[in-house]
Structure formats: C-alpha cells, structure tokens
C-alpha cells in the first residue's frame, strides 16, 4: 500500500472519528459545563464585572477557554466508549494509533475553535476590542486548541471507564496552568520557581500569541511561541500513542 494511499485512509478514518464525537458529545451537559461555562465563570470572577478590566482580560479569557474546551471532549468520550465497548471498534479499525489519537483530538480542536471564535466575535461586537494582529490570534487559537485537545486525549489513555477519573487528573494540570502561564498574573511578577514552570507550560506560549495579537505586547518572538506549541503537540501525540499501546490488554 502506497504512502499516499495509507495517509488518505488514515485521514478519512480520523475525520470519521471526529465527526462521531461532534454528533454525540458536543451538546452533553458535562461538556458544556466543563468546556464553556467554567472558563466563563472564572473570567467573570476575575473581572468582577468591571468593563475596563474585561477588555484587558479578553486575550486571557480566550486562552483559558481553549485550554478548558479543547480538553473537555476526550476525557469524557473515551471512558464512556470503553464502557459501551464502542472504543474496541476504533481500536480494531485498520488504522494506526496515531490516526486514532489524531481523530479523537480533532473533535476537541473543533469544539475549542468554535467557542474561542464565539468569545472573539462577542468581544469585538460588545466591547469593540482593538486588535493589533489578527493572524497571531488565529494561529494562537488553532495551535493551542490542537495542543490542549491532544493533551486531553493523552490523559484519556488511562484505562478507566469513568470520565470523572480522567477529568480530575486533567484538572490537576489545568488549574495550576492558569496561574503560572501569564494569563491573569504577568510572568515577570511571578517568583523565580513560577517563572521556570511557566516555560514548560504550553499555555504560556498560547497566551503570548493571543496577547500579542490583541495588544502587540509579547514576551517571546512569535516564531518561538509557534515552535514551542508545535513541539508540545508532537510530544503529547507521541506520549498518547505510547500510552494507548501500553494500556491495551
């Protein structure tokens, strides 16, 4: 079988897996609470209803919604599919584990992009937020969505049939990231340890791109942000791939 043939087979299957998640999981209450309402409440708590602060915090809001919404699908869908045995269907299809992981992550990516887009448009219409460079915002949203979706798929490799198990593990990572990635607290004002951790947080680079897109102020060069996010995506993909193989029994 030629490489091109193989690739197109894998992509067709990955897309089919993603479409199934869209149809089944996007509108589940748990997904909406974890992926949409939660970051929104978090944002309202930080702005405390003040409009001026709201404007300044829009880039941060987009950052954390991508984090939460992108990683809200697979930690729910995969354990449920283990329970109903439909996951065996995906595991026994003539595709590689990489295609399976990618297909699963695609649905998280799309979910996150749609929600980030809603926030972006709403901010534009209601707050008339100024924009410095829309390309940075778009790239930031796309890459961070794929990155956090793959992270969700990675955590869902843990062989449990209960979504709660995975969600609690994901939260152990998601919450600290908000505080050490420069979303609400500038990295420069963090203690030395916090600053070091910030460098290994994908949200730092995602947030930097989106901030830069809105107000032009950036901590890193955009190329660095993009490269770092791509590195994180590849690492998550590889680890996820390894874990799904490892946990197959």
Partner 1 sequence: MKFREHSMTSDTQAIEVSHLVKQFGAFTAVNDISFSVAVGETFGFLGPNGAGKTTTIRMLTGISPPTSGMATIFGHDIVRDTVAARQSMGIVSETSNVYTDLTGWQNMMLAAQLYRVGRTERDRKATELLQRFELYERRGDRVHGYSKGMMRRLTIAMGLVNSPRLLFLDEPTSGLDVESNLIIRDMISDLIRGGVTVFLTTHNIEEANVLCDRVAIIDKGLIAAIDAPERLKKTIQSVQSIEVSFDRSSPTRLDELRQVPMVNHARKEGDKFKLFTEDPTEVIDGVMAYAHTHNTRVTSITTLGPSLEDVFVKLTGLQRSGGGVTAID
Which residue ranges make up the site for partner 1 (CB under 8 A)?
A: 1, 5-6, 8-9, 12-13, 15-17, 19-20, 23-24, 84-86, 88-96, 248-249
CA-nearest of 182, 186, 224 to 207 is 182
- How many Å apart are CA 249 and CA 233, to the nearest integer? 26
Smallest gap from Cβ 247 to partner 1, in A, equals 11
* Structural tokens at position 134: 């829309």
**202 within 8 A of 147, measured Cβ to Cβ:** yes
**236 within 8 A of 151, measured Cβ to Cβ:** yes
Residue nearer to partner 1 on the CB measure, 23 or 124: 23
Smallest gap from Cβ 85 to partner 1, in A, equals 4
Burial of 132 (0-12, 13-18, 19+ CB in 10 A): middle
Smallest gap from Cβ 160 to partner 1, in A, equals 17
Burial of 240 (0-12, 13-18, 19+ CB in 10 A): buried
Smallest gap from Cβ 34 to partner 1, in A, equals 18
Residue nearer to partner 1 on the CB measure, 2 or 52: 2
Residue nearer to partner 1 on the CB measure, 10 or 225: 10
| 196-205 CB burial, b ≥16 within 10 A, e <16 | ebbeebbbbb
Residue nearer to partner 1 on the CB measure, 90 or 229: 90
Residue nearer to partner 1 on the CB measure, 19 or 235: 19
What is the full DSSP assignment across 222-234?
HHHHHHHHHHHHH
How many Å is the Cα radius of gyration of the chain? 18
* Structural tokens at position 55: 């404007």
Residue nearer to partner 1 on the CB measure, 49 or 249: 249
Smallest gap from Cβ 23 to partner 1, in A, equals 6
Smallest gap from Cβ 245 to partner 1, in A, equals 8
């Amino acid at each position: 079988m030629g490489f091109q043939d193989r690739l197109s087979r894998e992509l067709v299957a990955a897309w089919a897996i993603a479409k199934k998640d869209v149809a089944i999981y996007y509108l589940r209450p748990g997904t909406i609470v974890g992926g949409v309402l939660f970051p929104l409440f978090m944002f309202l708590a930080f702005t405390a209803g003040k409009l001026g602060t709201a404007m300044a915090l829009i880039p941060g809001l987009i950052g954390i919604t991508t984090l939460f919404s992108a990683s809200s699908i697979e930690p729910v869908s995969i354990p449920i599919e283990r329970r109903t045995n439909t996951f065996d269907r995906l595991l026994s299809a003539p595709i590689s584990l990489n295609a399976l992981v990618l297909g699963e992550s695609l649905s998280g990516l799309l979910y996150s992009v749609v929600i980030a887009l809603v926030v972006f448009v709403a901010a534009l219409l209601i707050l008339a937020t100024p924009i410095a460079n829309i390309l940075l915002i778009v790239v930031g949203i796309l890459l961070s969505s794929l990155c956090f979706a793959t992270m969700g798929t990675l955590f869902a490799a843990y062989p449990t049939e209960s979504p709660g198990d995975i969600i609690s593990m994901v939260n152990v990572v998601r919450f600290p990231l908000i505080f050490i990635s420069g979303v609400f607290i500038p990295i420069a004002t963090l203690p030395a340890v916090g600053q070091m951790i910030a460098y290994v947080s994908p949200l730092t680079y995602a947030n930097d791109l989106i901030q830069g897109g809105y107000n032009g102020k950036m901590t890193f060069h955009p190329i660095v942000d993009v490269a770092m996010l791509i590195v994180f995506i590849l690492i998550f993909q590889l680890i996820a791939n390894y874990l799904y193989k490892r946990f197959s029994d």
